[in-house]
């Protein structure tokens, strides 16, 4: 009797334990570490509502707009917005995230572009959303990513920055086009419960608000990402002041070069064998209205010093990283964020003991921008079908300094970026290549 009761107690205990463990595992994966790594904000919790074709037009397709807005269309077509869905990096990450619907609300934002309709989101939990097939889904339109209509079309009307246009389609003036409002919806991702980010991923907006470029300079996102241009807006129309639809960003090395100013110094212009020499590379966020790097938390800069001999053999090297480091497993915690705010600078130092018996040594100082780490890139290739050879590392700065008596000359002949050494950004300053920095 006693023995049997004991066995039953044991069984019950075991059962309880199994239940507790499965509850904890479930709780962990749904509450503490949810599938979606950011919080839901009302702006992007829903797709942009279904849009019908405005009177006078044949379709909502970008190509249709391109019939009359030729140049704008050609620009947009090369932009990352046009590739927000076909982008191989997006496709690979999306596959890793089980192709969860919420990503589409920014990458293919119109309901017309989405295969399912969301009827409800119980407890605001993305993975619990109730979905049905979208009968008006247009698969070709989905390929267009952030298409013209996503920014311009609402309720059969085309909104834009002018109050006097005469067009073969209904138009309406929206002053929001000349503010950051247009960009806010998608470039401000928040963090969710149990996610310990300061700023959610892809959250450029909060890093920008109230900062120098906006307050003192009156810059908005468009000032730097949609350069001004004077031209007819539509074929045959009047010449107007408008903006290019290119949105250069992290995939464009020239844009990243505009963000940073770099200068290298050494503690002695005459290196001596048997003695240490210290190089200092100063990196300034001289041209971005937000932190650099910004947005996607994978983005980072590396600052390197590499010592080589005459044969090119590496004798010493040092690598430092600037970015934000997030511990994704087992919980999402931002470990650190050492990115640079607008106009902030940082010194990177490297000390090398010069050997007595070597000649022809050079120190290379190098700054690179990374879309992803090599590890993530390999993971996306091996497990999530990342295809193509889109570059994911860009050389932003590289210069060799000889460790001999000509070092002083080499240091003094660095093209001086006028943004170095001044704490405030001057109007009309030019970069070393002679191009206007903005405008
Ligand atoms: C048949 C030619 C044609 C087509 C097709 C066309 N547009 Fe236009 N659009 C015009 C003309 C003409 C204007 C007026 C230009 C002006 O006043 O300088 C205009 C004006 C605009 C403006 C400025 C509105 C304002 O008042 O600020 C926007 C934005 C615009 N179009 C977007 C689009 C989009 C998006 C599409 C595709 C969905 C499209 N257009 C298709 C001819 C066209
Ligand atoms: C409907 C959503 C949406 C809106 C509105 C939007 N963007 Fe974007 N933007 C995106 C997405 C999604 C990407 C990333 C595409 C990719 O890399 O796959 C992106 C990428 C970018 C990039 C390039 C980043 C890179 O990695 O190169 C820049 C710059 C940018 N947007 C600026 C703007 C500006 C400026 C505005 C306002 C005028 C704006 N965006 C409005 C969704 C949006
Ligand atoms: C990410 C949002 C976004 C997308 C996508 C977009 N535009 Fe625009 N568009 C803007 C903004 C912002 C302006 C206002 C620029 C300014 O201040 O003049 C604008 C202005 C315009 C204008 C007025 C002329 C000008 O340069 O100001 C036309 C016409 C226009 N867009 C057509 C298009 C067409 C056609 C497409 C697709 C091929 C497109 N837009 C895609 C945001 C967008
Ligand atoms: C003063 C100029 C300036 C202003 C204002 C500005 N940016 Fe940028 N932005 C840059 C430069 C330069 C870069 C390239 C450096 C980089 O990618 O870190 C950049 C990079 C980006 C990127 C690319 C990040 C990536 O994926 O690599 C995005 C997205 C972006 N900006 C969005 C915005 C938005 C949204 C706003 C407005 C809230 C804005 N920017 C305002 C200059 C500016
Ligand atoms: C609130 C809008 C929003 C949502 C939701 C969103 N993204 Fe993005 N995504 C962006 C913006 C804006 C960028 C560009 C900013 C940048 O590059 O820093 C971007 C960039 C990316 C990039 C970088 C692309 C490249 O070329 O390097 C990947 C990958 C990506 N998103 C994947 C996803 C996935 C997967 C989801 C869903 C789990 C998702 N995004 C949900 C707005 C969004």
DSSP readout, 318-370?
Answer: EEEEEEEEEE-SSSEEEEEE-PBPTT-EEEEEEEEE--TT--S-EEEEEEEEE
Ligand nearest to the CA of 61: 1
Does the pLDDT value for residue 432 go beyond 50?
no
Kindly report which listed range (14-18, 238-242, 258-262, 432-436) carries the lowest average pLDDT score. Answer: 432-436
Looking at residue 430, its pLDDT comes to 31
Report if residue 154 sits inside a domain. yes
Looking at residue 2, its pLDDT comes to 60
Q: Check whether residue 200 and residue 316 sit in a common domain.
A: no
Q: Check whether residue 235 and residue 281 sit in a common domain.
A: no
**What percentage of the chain's residues is helix, strand, coil (to nearest 5)?**
30, 25, 45
Measured distance CA(279)–CA(272) in Å, rounded: 14
Measured distance CA(347)–CA(189) in Å, rounded: 31
Q: Is 361 near ligand 2, meaning CB less than 6 Å away?
A: no
Report if residue 28 sits inside a domain. no
Contact 204, 290 (CB under 8 A): yes
Ligand nearest to the CA of 205: 4
Ligand nearest to the CA of 60: 1
Q: Which atom of ligand 3 is nearest to the CA of 226?
A: 15
pLDDT digits (tens, 9 = 90+) for 115-141: 999 999 887 788 889 999 999 999 999
Q: Is 62 near ligand 4, meaning CB less than 6 Å away?
A: no
Q: Check whether residue 130 and residue 267 sit in a common domain.
A: no
Q: Which residue has the tokens 């499965």?
A: 22
Report if residue 1 sits inside a domain. no
195, 221, 243 — which closes off a domain?
243
Residues 33-52: what's their mean pLDDT?
A: 80
pTM here?
0.91
pLDDT digits (tens, 9 = 90+) for 180-223: 889 988 988 776 666 666 667 777 877 776 566 777 778 899 99
Report phi then psi at 348, rounded to 5: -115, 125
| Per-residue confidence band for 436, with pLDDT thresholds at 50, 70 and 90 | very low
Report if residue 351 sits inside a domain. yes
CATH code for the domain of 307:
2.60.40.10
The Å distance, Cα 183 to ligand 2 centre, comes to 7
243, 270, 291 — which closes off a domain?
243
Q: Which atom of ligand 2 is nearest to the CA of 87?
A: 18
Q: Check whether residue 222 and residue 116 sit in a common domain.
A: yes
| Per-residue confidence band for 297, with pLDDT thresholds at 50, 70 and 90 | confident
Measured distance CA(48)–CA(110) in Å, rounded: 5
pLDDT digits (tens, 9 = 90+) for 57-99: 999 999 999 999 999 999 999 999 999 999 999 999 999 988 9
Do you find a cis peptide bond into 278, omega within 30 degrees of 0? no
Measured distance CA(93)–CA(174) in Å, rounded: 35
Q: Which two tokens stand for residue 287?
A: 């041209």
Does the pLDDT value for residue 153 go beyond 90?
yes
| Per-residue confidence band for 32, with pLDDT thresholds at 50, 70 and 90 | low
The Å distance, Cα 14 to ligand 3 centre, comes to 64
Report if residue 42 sits inside a domain. no
Q: Is 207 near ligand 4, meaning CB less than 6 Å away?
A: no
Pocket perturbation via mutation, ligand 3, pick of 70, 148, 241, 247 by most ligand atoms within 8 A of CB: 148
Report if residue 30 sits inside a domain. no
Q: Check whether residue 189 and residue 269 sit in a common domain.
A: no
pLDDT digits (tens, 9 = 90+) for 316-325: 999 999 999 8
Name the residue with higher pLDDT: 247 or 195: 247
Q: Check whether residue 113 and residue 262 sit in a common domain.
A: no
Q: Which two tokens stand for residue 58?
A: 């044949």
Residues 175-181: what's their mean pLDDT?
A: 93
Residue nearest to atom 24 of ligand 3 (CA): 242
- Domain of residue 94 covers 62-243
Looking at residue 262, its pLDDT comes to 96
Q: Which atom of ligand 4 is nearest to the CA of 187?
A: 35
Range 60-74 burial, b when 16+ CB lie within 10 A, else e = bbbebbbebbebbbe
Residues 162-174: what's their mean pLDDT?
A: 96
> What percent of the chain has a predicted confidence (pLDDT) above 90?
66
Q: Check whether residue 204 and residue 278 sit in a common domain.
A: no
Residue nearest to atom 9 of ligand 5 (CA): 202
Do you find a cis peptide bond into 293, omega within 30 degrees of 0? yes
Q: Check whether residue 76 and residue 206 sit in a common domain.
A: yes
State the total domains in the chain. Answer: 2
Burial (0-12, 13-18, 19+ Cβ within 10 Å), 382: exposed
Q: Is 355 near ligand 1, meaning CB less than 6 Å away?
A: no
Q: Check whether residue 262 and residue 216 sit in a common domain.
A: no
Q: Check whether residue 212 and residue 282 sit in a common domain.
A: no
Residue nearest to atom 33 of ligand 2 (CA): 183
Does the pLDDT value for residue 34 go beyond 60?
no
Looking at residue 439, its pLDDT comes to 26
Q: Check whether residue 267 and residue 403 sit in a common domain.
A: yes
222, 243, 264 — which closes off a domain?
243
Long-range contacts of 264-268 (CB under 8 A, 24+ apart): 264/365, 264/399, 264/401, 264/411, 264/414, 265/411, 266/401, 266/407, 266/411
Report if residue 52 sits inside a domain. no
Q: Is 289 near ligand 2, meaning CB less than 6 Å away?
A: no
Report if residue 45 sits inside a domain. no
Looking at residue 125, its pLDDT comes to 80
Does the pLDDT value for residue 433 go beyond 70?
no
The distance from CA 365 to its chain's CA centroid, rounded to whole angstroms, is: 25
> What percent of the chain has a predicted confidence (pLDDT) above 70?
89
Pocket perturbation via mutation, ligand 2, pick of 87, 150, 180, 187 by most ligand atoms within 8 A of CB: 187
Ligand nearest to the CA of 109: 2
Residue nearest to atom 22 of ligand 4 (CA): 249
Q: Check whether residue 227 and residue 80 sit in a common domain.
A: yes
């Amino acid at each position: 009797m006693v023995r049997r009761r004991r066995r039953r107690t044991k069984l019950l205990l075991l059962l309880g334990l199994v239940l507790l463990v499965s509850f904890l595992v479930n709780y962990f994966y749904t509450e503490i570490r949810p599938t979606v790594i950011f919080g839901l904000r009302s702006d992007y919790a829903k797709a942009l509502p279904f849009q019908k074709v405005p009177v006078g037009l044949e379709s909502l397709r970008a190509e249709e707009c391109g019939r009359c807005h030729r140049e704008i269309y050609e620009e947009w077509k090369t932009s990352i917005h046009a590739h927000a869905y076909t982008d191989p990096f997006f496709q690979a990450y999306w596959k890793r995230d089980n192709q969860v619907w919420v990503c589409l609300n920014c990458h293919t934002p119109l309901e017309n572009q989405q295969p399912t309709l969301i009827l409800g989101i119980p407890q605001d939990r993305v993975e619990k959303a109730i979905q049905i097939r979208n009968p008006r889904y247009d698969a070709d339109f989905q390929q267009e990513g952030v298409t013209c209509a996503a920014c311009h079309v609402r309720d059969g009307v085309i909104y834009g920055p002018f109050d006097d246009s005469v067009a073969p389609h209904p138009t309406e003036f929206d002053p929001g086009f000349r503010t950051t409002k247009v960009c806010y919806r998608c470039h401000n991702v928040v963090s969710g419960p149990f996610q310990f980010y300061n700023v959610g991923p892809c959250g450029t907006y909060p890093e920008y608000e109230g900062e120098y470029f906006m307050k003192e300079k009156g810059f908005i996102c468009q000032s730097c990402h949609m350069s001004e241009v004077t031209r007819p807006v539509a074929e045959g129309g009047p010449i107007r002041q408008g903006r290019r639809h290119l949105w250069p960003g992290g995939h464009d090395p020239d844009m990243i070069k505009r963000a940073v100013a770099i200068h290298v110094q050494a503690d002695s212009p005459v290196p001596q064998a048997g003695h240490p020499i210290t190089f200092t590379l100063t990196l300034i966020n001289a041209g971005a209205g937000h932190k650099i790097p910004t947005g996607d938390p994978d983005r980072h800069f590396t600052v390197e010093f590499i010592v080589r001999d005459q044969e090119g053999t590496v004798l010493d090297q040092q690598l430092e990283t600037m970015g934000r480091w997030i511990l994704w497993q087992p919980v999402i915690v931002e470990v650190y964020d050492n990115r640079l705010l607008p106009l902030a600078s940082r010194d990177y130092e490297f000390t090398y003991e010069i050997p007595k018996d070597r000649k022809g040594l050079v120190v290379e100082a190098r700054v690179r921008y990374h879309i992803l780490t090599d590890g993530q890139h390999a993971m996306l290739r091996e497990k999530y079908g990342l295809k193509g050879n889109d570059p994911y590392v860009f050389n932003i700065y590289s210069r060799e300094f000889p460790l001999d008596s000509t070092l002083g000359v080499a240091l003094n002949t660095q093209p001086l970026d006028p943004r170095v050494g001044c704490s405030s950004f001057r109007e009309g300053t030019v970069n070393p290549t002679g191009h206007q920095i903005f405008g």
